[in-house]
Structure 1
Amino acid sequence: MSKSTYTHILQTLFLLSIFIIAISAQTLSITVSNGTIFGSFCSSPFVNVVAYLGIPFAQPPIGTLRWNAPISYNSTYPNGTINATTFAPSCYQFGSFATEPPPYSEDCLHLNVWAPANATQNSSLPVKVWIYGGNGYEGSSSDPLYNGCGIATDAIVVSMNYRLGPLGWLTLGAPLNFTGNYGVLDVLMALQWVQENIASFGGNKSTVLLFGQATGGLLAHILSTLPQAKGLFSSVISESGSGRVLTTSEQQIANGNQFVQALGCFNASDVAGCLRMQTPDQIIQATPTLPSILLYLPTQFYAHVDGNIIPVQPLATSPKVPFMAGTCTMEGILFAFQSFTNPLNVTSVDYNNYLNITFGAALVSNISAIYPVSMFNSTVAPALYAIAAVLTDAEYACPTRRALKTSLTTQLGTYTYLWNHVPSCPWVSGITTDLLSYLGATHTSELPFVFGERLGLPQPNGTCNLSASEQILSTEMMTAWQSMSINGYPTLANGSKWLDWSQGGQGVLVNVSLTFSTINRTQCDFWDAIQTVTTTTTTTTNNTTLMTSSITVVKISSAASYDGSTTGFILATFFILLRI
């Protein structure tokens, strides 16, 4: 090799290295008002997406800021930069079914952003903001099921942490005036951060989809109705969570007073000071454990109507943006199964006991007439499936229908789906492949399809890949969600617009493909005739632990009947960590 050729090669390599450094600097760092954020590339196959993880959006809610509204993070990052290559700690988890591993911290109000590596401030890409579920007690934006890499190839994706359990929802009356609903305020502040900063990542702050699942779906529905959320997002998708009636301030204050007593602060000269001196472990120990079977109304620390942050029941108003809400056909089987010591041995007596404890003696005969155990005689545990059917409709399908009805009043666009596909891969740890056919289309099973997690399931280290037809189905789901963020209405991959729910209850039935169909929720006529009141007392039997509730019957429609075709239940004999 001649000297001139060698010199030319060195010069070429030098210029190439300068180019690579320039490209890396462009794609792996973003500058906002607080300083420079350094991210990292997603792993294969999404190597053209950059993740910026653990970005603070609020000051740490510790000390005097514990049980106060969040305050915007308006400081300069230390040394003007932040290494956003790992997730921040999760907020503290509560209850006996915590799904997220440590570390935990009260300093948890951080968010994550995923963006295409080639995005610039002029890209004006649609934005999708995710809210996780967990019954207000558990959950984290770092959960691998919510990895944004797969849906950020042509959009900006954001997820945030919000405070949980009593740290997120504790409500106390005068003179303390702890407002509660801090979790709602956290999400609102994260959305404000998006408005102020997302253009730096290449996002369009005018096309923001807010979407969530379970409690995240409930919060998305609540936020869609709030006047103070106007302009923070342009459309909403609520997965398995919309339409529930919220508790009142009086109910939450009663819960809060019991909590203060449990911490030994009730008679303190400075109650607020006593509460803020408690360690997270002490707070966790004083927190009541949630019942395994969810009730019609959340009865412990949760979002509630306070007349200010949440001025009225979400069902008493309507979403102020285009709205989509849907459910899975087998939501309730997971909750029913984990609620009994011996689920295969659940009997009609257990079923009636569940109805009596949960809904009150006055409704047992009415509910069992709509959901007779005999309807499920073809299963290995008919009484268990009857409970699962009640759970699915009372907790998910019928509240969702109520939310859809309120959305119709705005005529901004109302859409629904029924997820009826059984995944061929486990999507969370704890599920094995041989159990999938027993689970059916159950709670959370749509999420890997929505997030484009097609390979290596369950994330992050699984070995199962979705089938070719399932990958096409995932593309359809991603297309619909992307279209909601851009247009305010969902479309199929071929560009066809989804039918509006106002057109005879039309929605999309999701099997191995998407088909337009009337989503039959006629059994909800029965549940719409029942008004829940309150739930406070814990009752223990030899086979289950439940909270006692009282129910007021407004009316019972004699014509109401349960359409068993909308919910098929098959038992899975295993324990699963749930994201409720």
Structure 2
Amino acid sequence: MGNVVTISGGRLRGETGEDGLTAYRGIPYAQAARFAPPGPAPSWTGVRDATRHGPMSPQPPFRPGSVTGEPPPAPQDEDCLNLTVLTPGTEGPKKPVLVWIHGGAYVTGSASLEFYQGRRLAAEGDVVFVGINYRLGALGYLKLDGVSPGNLGLLDQIAALRWVRENIAAFGGDPGAVTVLGQSAGAHSIACLMAVPETRGLFHRAIVQSAPLGLKIAGQRASDRIARFFTAALRKDPRTATVDEILAAQGKAIARASGPGGIYSVPPFCPAAETDPLPSAARWLDDAASRAREVDVLIGTTRDEMNTYLNNRPELAPLEAIGPVRKGFDAVKTGITKFVFETPSRRFADKLATAGGKVFGYRFDWSAPESGFGACHCIELPFLLGDRASWAPAPMLAGTDWDELAELGHRLRGAWLSFARTGFPGWEAHSAGAPLGFRWRDSGPNQRVSPAAGRR
């Protein structure tokens, strides 16, 4: 049968759509007990049904849902180390591979959410698209002596990339042409993965979208602090608590760490420094840049990243109603965007370029006419992933007809696909000290792309 493949664990049956793409869902790439590193996934006999998504990591409501729209409910389970493969077919030369690492502040998200599916990329680029699920929140990033070593979600991602190297050829993919792409926490994860020697050879290009590199990785004091908040809220052994109890304590710990009004919303459950497999916080990005000659990088941000987190918050609405205060508040949002996203992304690009790497920068400036969110965090995602139905409820797209997004989306996907195939997205490489100088922006009724005429 044309939709049955054989991999290291056994045989899989996928589902072929009208577009000719075959999806293999819920594929186990590893297994792990609670607070344990991932190990090999068990094999099976017969043909495994791979037509339904596997569960995603247990999590609270989707964090940026007020901007992107809330995804429909999906199964959650601790046994969540699974992935989806979308392939145009296994005939002919091996195809480039795109591996998607979702964001969500390390506490929410799943590659199996419909607005993250990569059918347009796979069909337009004749590439194999892989989306991975990994452990989140306390289950993935709690660092607590005698209980959890920390960085388990990152180790899950490494296990998934090893699975890709060993198995992707069965789906028509080229294990020697793997591009990882991620947004937000997924992009931050890629910077972490680049700093890990064990990932050498697992990927060859990286697309880093809106990485909050200004937040660095957690030091020992920060890890200890969130562990204290978590255990104080849980009041029982995390190894035997129920998942609901874990999530409730996790939420209380995040709220306590965020401070009054939740203004300090740095993800407290996140990769930890000097914890397997990561180096110290001081060495992190330098170690990542040491891979510059091995991994081509496309990196960028959106113009108004922080609008996703600070616009339309009820506790801030009275301040935004006051003209002079609103101007000051807008300046604060711009400043935080530069501090957390834009400036550290440019500095990382500078490190890569100085080390002899091929790196390309961009900024996404397009915004919907009636959303009020501007070019906010996540705004580029509808142009790359998902489809009209999955993004229809997104408040950040208010006032825009989907057909009006078609040209810019086609060009944006074309640039990402060109980079995955050739290492060249269509504009000049970044040089150290220069701005991330290519802008994706609104140019009137027919959106198009253009080089940044007014470079910063």
Counterpart CA distance in 2 for 1:400 and 1:517 is 17
8 A Cα contact 1:318 1:406, kept in partner: no
- Greater alpha carbon shift after TM alignment, 256-265 vs 188-197: 256-265
TM-score when normalising by structure 2: 0.86
Q: Which residue identity is paired with 2:119?
A: C
What are the residue-to-residue correspondences of 1:11-410 with 2, within 5 Å?
25-26=1-2, 28-42=3-17, 47-59=19-31, 61=32, 65-73=33-41, 75-77=42-44, 79-94=45-60, 97=63, 101-116=73-88, 118-120=89-91, 122-153=92-123, 154-173=126-145, 176=146, 178-244=148-214, 245-265=216-236, 274-287=237-250, 288-290=253-255, 291=258, 295=264, 298=267, 300-313=268-281, 314-319=284-289, 320=291, 321-346=295-320, 381-410=326-355
Indicate conservation of the 8 Å contact 2:147/2:238, yes or no. Answer: no
- 2:444 aligns to what? none
Secondary structure of the structure 2 residue equivalent to 1:70: coil
Aligned partner letter, 1:458? W
Alpha-carbon displacement from aligned partner over 1:307-353 (angstroms, at most 9, x marks no partner)? 531113333333311112111111111211244425153478xxxxx
1:102 Cα deviation after fit: 3.5
Which whole-Å deviations, capped at 9, do the CAs of 1:106-132 have from their partners, x for residues lacking one?
Answer: 01111000000x333x53100000011
| Paired residue type of 1:476 | R
Distance 1:182 1:482, change over 3 A: same
C-alpha separation in 1, matches of 2:346 and 2:265: 15
Superposition RMSD on alpha carbons, in Å?
2.8
Contact 2:37 2:155 in 1 (8 A): yes
Partners of 2:150 and 2:275 within 8 A in 1: no
Corresponding pairs, count = 427
Distance (Å, rounded) in 1 between the aligned partners of 2:222 and 2:433 = 39
Q: Tell me, in whole angstroms, the C-alpha distance in 1 between the residues paired with 2:432 and 2:334.
A: 26
TM-superposed CA distance for 1:243, in Å, is: 2.3
Cα deviation, residue 85, structure 1 = 1.1
Is contact 1:295–1:395 with CA below 8 Å preserved after alignment? no
Shift in CA distance, 388/242, structure 1 to aligned 2, threshold 3 Å: closer
Whole-angstrom distance in 2 between the partners of 1:389 and 1:310 = 31
Q: Which residue of 2 aligns with 1:7?
A: none
Who is 2:417 aligned against?
A: 482
CA contact (8 A) 1:168 1:180 kept: yes
Q: 1:467 aligns with which of 390, 403, 406?
A: 403
Deviation at 1:459, TM superposition (A): 5.7
Provide Cα deviations, 1:410-450, integer angstroms capped at 9, x if missing partner: 222111111011247xxxxxxxxxx33x2222111111212
Would you say 1:448 and 2:393 are equivalent positions?
no
Q: Hey, what's the Cα distance between the residues in 2 that align with 1:193 and 1:57? A: 6
Distance 1:281 1:387, change over 3 A: same
- Judged with a 3 Å threshold, the aligned counterparts in structure 2 of structure 1 residues 341 and 294 are, in CA distance, closer, same or farther, namely closer
Is contact 2:191-2:288 (8 Å) kept?
no
| SS of match in other structure, 1:261 | helix
Over 3 Å counting, the alpha-carbon distance change for 1:170 and 1:392 in structure 2 is: same
Query: Alpha carbons of 1:39 and 1:94: their partners in 2 closer, same or farther (altered >3 Å)?
Result: same
Which stretch has the larger CA shift, 456-465 or 477-486? Answer: 456-465
Q: Using a 3 Å threshold, how does the CA distance of structure 1 residues 158 and 337 change in structure 2: closer, same or farther?
A: same
Contact 2:106 2:270 in 1 (8 A): yes
What amino acid is aligned across from residue 244 of structure 2 in structure 1? D
Shift of the 92–251 alpha-carbon distance from structure 1 to 2, 3 Å rule, reads same
Contact 2:300 2:436 in 1 (8 A): no
- Report the Cα distance in structure 2 between the residues aligned to 1:301 and 1:187, rounded to whole angstroms: 16
Off by >6 Å, runs of 4+ in structure 1: 460-464
Structure 1: 5+ residue stretches without partners: 1-24, 266-273, 349-372, 425-434, 492-496, 522-580
CA distance in structure 2 between the aligned counterparts of 1:308 and 1:457, rounded to whole angstroms: 37
Work out whether residues 38 and 156 of structure 2, in 8 Å CA contact, stay in contact via their aligned partners in 1: yes
Instruction: State the Cα distance separating 1:33 from its structure 2 match.
Output: 2.1
Cα separation, partners in 2 of 1:169 and 1:338, compared to 1, 3 Å: farther
- Which residue is equivalent to 1:543? none
The one-letter amino acid of 2:195's match is T
Q: Which amino acid in structure 2 is aligned with residue 76 of structure 1? A: S
- Once residues 157 and 177 of structure 1 are traced to their aligned partners in structure 2, the CA distance between those partners, rounded to angstroms, is 35
SS of corresponding position for 1:137? coil
8 A contact 1:95–1:137 mirrored in 2: no
Letter in 2 for 1:505: P
Q: In the alignment, is the contact (CA less than 8 A) between 1:293 and 1:339 conserved in 2?
A: no
Identity %, equivalent residues: 28
Distance 1:340 1:230 in 2: 46
Tell me if structure 1 keeps the 8 A contact 2:204–2:296.
Answer: yes
1:389 CA displacement: 1.7
Going from structure 1 to structure 2, the CA distance change for 1:165 and 1:479 (only over 3 Å counts) comes to same
Q: CA deviation at 1:160?
A: 0.7
2:99–2:131 contact (8 Å) kept in structure 1:
yes
Deviations 1:51-110 (A, max 9, x none): 111111112x3xxx211111121x222x42221112112111147837552421101111
Distance 2:382 2:210 in 1: 15
Q: Is 2:149–2:275's contact at 8 Å kept on the other side of the alignment?
A: no
1:405–1:258 distance in 2 versus 1, CA, 3 Å? same
How far residue 188 of structure 1 moved from its aligned partner, in angstroms, is 0.5
- Structure 1 pair 145/519, CA: closer, same or farther in 2 (3 Å)? farther
Deviations 1:481-502 (A, max 9, x none): 11222222322xxxxx443344
Checking the alignment, whether the CA contact within 8 Å between 2:62 and 2:109 is kept in structure 1 is no
Q: Point out the structure with max Rg over C-alpha.
A: 1
| SS in structure 1 at match of 2:26 | strand
Give the conservation status (yes or no) of the 8 Å contact 2:384–2:412.
Answer: yes
Counterpart code for 2:269: F
In 2: Cα distance, 1:281 partner to 1:55 partner: 25
1:499 to 416, 424, 429: 429
* CA–CA separation in structure 2 for the residues paired with 1:293 and 1:489: 41
